[in-house]
């Protein structure tokens, strides 16, 4: 909960994706479209 609050306070997007697929972490780091991006609406 603290990490989510810090991201929201600092306008840092959160990427939610399936960790069961080992390639997903690599894809997320490389900026490929994966999972859901949560941003703070204004």
| pLDDT higher than 80, residue 10 | yes
Over residues 28-42, the mean pLDDT reads 87
**Rounded distance, CA 10 to CA 35, Å?**
21
pLDDT at residue 23 in the model: 94
Query: At 42, is the pLDDT very low, low, confident or very high (cuts 50, 70, 90)?
Result: low
Contact 16, 35 (CB under 8 A): yes
Residue partners of 13: CB distance under 8 A and separation at least 6:
7, 37, 38, 39
End-to-end Cα separation, the chain, in angstroms:
21
């Amino acid at each position: 909960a603290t990490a989510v609050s810090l991201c929201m306070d600092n306008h840092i997007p959160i990427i939610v994706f399936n960790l069961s697929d080992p390639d997903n972490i690599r894809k997320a780091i490389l900026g490929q479209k994966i999972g859901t991006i949560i941003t703070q609406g204004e």
